[in-house]
Structure 1
Amino acid sequence: MSKVLITGGAGFIGSHLTERLVKLGNEVTVIDRTPEKEPENIKSVIKEINFVHSDILNFKTLEETIKGKEYIFHLAANSSVNKSLEKPSWSAEQNILATVKLLELAVKYGVKKIIFSSSAAVYGDRKELPIKETAPLDPASPYALDKVTGENYMKLFSRLHNIDTVSLRYFNVFGPRQNADLPHPGGVTIVINQIKNKGSSQLQGDGKQTRDMIYVDNVVNANILAMKKGSKLNGAAYNVSTGKSISICELHDKISKLMGVESTREYLPLPKGNIIHSQGDNSLAKSELGFKIEVDLEEGLKGTLDWSKNQV
């Protein structure tokens, strides 16, 4: 049993990770600024964890929360590209300042390892696909730059302070509990809701953009594997991807077919900072972490649809 802290552990990805770590017998603490004092996403395990209802920018509370922990999964962040474009200084505070303070406190209290949730957005738009971890980083938004900076701090603190860190570059994660209210038209949950409610969905751009869609359970697996890796990772970065891509239009059609309905598409302008094509090479994560895709796209979409049927 390990003592673990999950920042943002009541969010979309974080809640699935929280449940898995509890199931594996770990002593789990979650810190999250969710509006709910007993978050819906983690209600199944709320009595089995220590839940701290706080923003991680409350550094006094963060310090108390980090004391005595062996592992930290750092997921808390502004995850919206659009918000980062509107409020870059606010996004930097959420994503960079909070990360640096967390690293300082982790060093102070002897944390063994930090698993940092990064993003494929660090690559920008790459012509060479699938993208390897050795590809140049070319962030196209403040959000992406925040993640590059976070990765660099992870690597630096590993070198300066002998704390083990690893960055996981998530590609397009989907699954149950994904927030359909975020301004990301084209996301799986949003498409499902729009087809269900209107018989059509809004897609940004011409719909020919491609994405590497990865089901949330696979992302949780990558986090657990990174935690359990015995040898030091020293700030290494790994793609968490399927190695396959699908166009936004094809994704829409696949969802419509699984729902058993005919639906139309509406097209919206593509906002600045959005990537056209994305597909990750996951061979490094496979060889060094033992990562593999256990839930494919179709199975993941079915799981997400089953969950959405019970949502109001």
Structure 2
Amino acid sequence: MPTYPHRALVTGGAGFIGSHSVELLLENNFNVRVLDNFSSGHLSNLPTHPQLEVVVGDIRDRDDVQAAMQGMTHCLHLAAQVSVAKSVEDPIGSATHNILGALNVMHAAANAKVSKLVYASSAAVYGIPAQLPLLEEAELQPLSPYGLEKWVDERYAALLGSLHGLPSLGLRYFNVYGPRQDPSSPYAGVIARFLDRLLSHQAPVVFGDGRQTRDFIYVGDIARANMAALLSAQCGICNVANGQQIDLLGLIALLGQLTNCHLPPQHLPANAEDIRYSCGNNQRLTEWLAIEPKWNLTEGLSELIHYVSKSHVAHDEPVNIRA
């Protein structure tokens, strides 16, 4: 394997998506520095590796970010406040993470003259889609402070590209699932919560009729897209999606088949703010980054079930699906 001169800072690298991305970068001979405040990430998510350095710090602290960025050639910015509900309850606190923290990272990356900044955006920027599958050029109408924050990040990245020549690519993740996604966390995705309930022989709980659809993408494919984006010359915005949608009832049926636990869902009243249908167009992902999703939903769920079944802990919270 060739030795790459790449030195990548990964903010939030001890988290769900971050740790998978760090592992892949190390496998491809990157030197990696993780910056994490460990508010939700875990050191146990990270391997022991001679090319990995872990720094405890916070993206909201400009000095922490500038120090961590020193000597880096690339930056993968994943640290964020990722709860839609929390952004509604505390929009100032959420914006401090997701706008001011992101701006700290972007300015430090520009000052360090990194070769590429890749940052996590979200399908939440789209709001209620006028047409599916969603193209990157679709009108953006975010329904939550979280979605608005990610949109603001995209505009800041574009502006800093114009002002300071910062090359950046924002990745609009759709619904990510996979190992290390904590079902007890308020940030957990719907798959983690459903699976947790089924493995505890409890009925999964859904809000509404269960016909809401989402585009689920396995975390391994997210990591592949992250690395490809760091090495790509492309700048702008790119969806990271499977390009297929499934409704919650179909998802529960598939999970029941794979776990041999067939329990009908318990329904609670629908939330008016929930997006009804979502599906991303991933043509740009294929053309720009040469990434085709490797795991279909059945394969990804099988990987997740194998991981979770080894260390399952039951949780009783109902599931609320959000973009």
TM-score, normalised on structure 1?
A: 0.94
Match of 1:125 in 2: 128
CA contact (8 A) 2:175 2:189 kept: no
| Deviation by residue 1:81-108 (Cα, 9 ceiling, x = unmatched) | 0110110111000100011111111121
| Deviation by residue 1:127-162 (Cα, 9 ceiling, x = unmatched) | 311111110001000000000001111111111111
Match of 1:237 in 2: 237
Match of 2:44 in 1: 40
Matches for 1:186-201 after TM superposition, within 5 Å: 187-201=190-204
CA contact (8 A) 1:32 1:54 kept: yes
Q: Give 3-state SS (helix, strand or coil) of 1:147's partner.
A: helix
Farther off after superposition, 205-214 or 30-39: 30-39
Count of aligned pairs between the two proteins: 308
| Deviation by residue 1:53-108 (Cα, 9 ceiling, x = unmatched) | 22211221211100111111010001110110110111000100011111111121
Q: Give 3-state SS (helix, strand or coil) of 1:153's partner.
A: helix
* Runs of at least 5 residues in structure 2 that lack an aligned partner in the other structure: 313-323
The yes-or-no answer on 1:27 pairing with 2:31 is: yes
CA contact (8 A) 2:45 2:180 kept: yes
Matches for 1:163-202 after TM superposition, within 5 Å: 163-183=166-186, 187-202=190-205
User: What code does the residue aligned with 1:54 have?
Assistant: G
Match of 1:76 in 2: 79
Q: Residues 114 and 270 of structure 1: is their aligned pair in 2 closer, same or farther, counting only changes over 3 Å?
A: farther
Match of 2:317 in 1: none
CA contact (8 A) 1:218 1:293 kept: yes
Match of 1:9 in 2: 13
CA contact (8 A) 1:185 1:191 kept: no
In 2: Cα distance, 1:121 partner to 1:10 partner? 23
* Runs of at least 5 residues in structure 1 that lack an aligned partner in the other structure: none
RMSD: 1.7
In 2: Cα distance, 1:37 partner to 1:250 partner? 31
The yes-or-no answer on 1:290 pairing with 2:294 is: no
Runs of 4+ in 1 over 4 A off after TM superposition: 35-38
CA contact (8 A) 2:66 2:108 kept: yes
CA contact (8 A) 1:19 1:45 kept: no
Match of 1:155 in 2: 158
Match of 1:51 in 2: 54
Q: Residues 118 and 281 of structure 1: is their aligned pair in 2 closer, same or farther, counting only changes over 3 Å?
A: same
In 1: Cα distance, 2:40 partner to 2:161 partner? 35
**1:204 shift after superposition:** 2.3
User: What code does the residue aligned with 2:150 have?
Assistant: K
**1:30 shift after superposition:** 0.4
In 1: Cα distance, 2:265 partner to 2:189 partner? 10
In 1: Cα distance, 2:102 partner to 2:220 partner? 25
Q: Residues 268 and 184 of structure 1: is their aligned pair in 2 closer, same or farther, counting only changes over 3 Å?
A: farther
**1:269 shift after superposition:** 3.3
CA contact (8 A) 1:185 1:202 kept: no
In 1: Cα distance, 2:183 partner to 2:77 partner? 22
Q: Residues 194 and 184 of structure 1: is their aligned pair in 2 closer, same or farther, counting only changes over 3 Å?
A: farther
**1:47 shift after superposition:** 5.3
Q: Give 3-state SS (helix, strand or coil) of 1:238's partner.
A: strand
Matches for 1:234-273 after TM superposition, within 5 Å: 236-271=236-271, 273=273
The yes-or-no answer on 1:303 pairing with 2:306 is: no
Q: Percent identity?
A: 34
**1:34 shift after superposition:** 1.2
Farther off after superposition, 14-23 or 201-210: 201-210
Q: Give 3-state SS (helix, strand or coil) of 1:52's partner.
A: strand
Q: Give 3-state SS (helix, strand or coil) of 1:176's partner.
A: coil
Q: Residues 210 and 163 of structure 1: is their aligned pair in 2 closer, same or farther, counting only changes over 3 Å?
A: same
Farther off after superposition, 176-185 or 294-303: 176-185
In 2: Cα distance, 1:81 partner to 1:143 partner? 6
CA contact (8 A) 1:204 1:269 kept: yes
Match of 1:105 in 2: 108
Match of 2:320 in 1: none
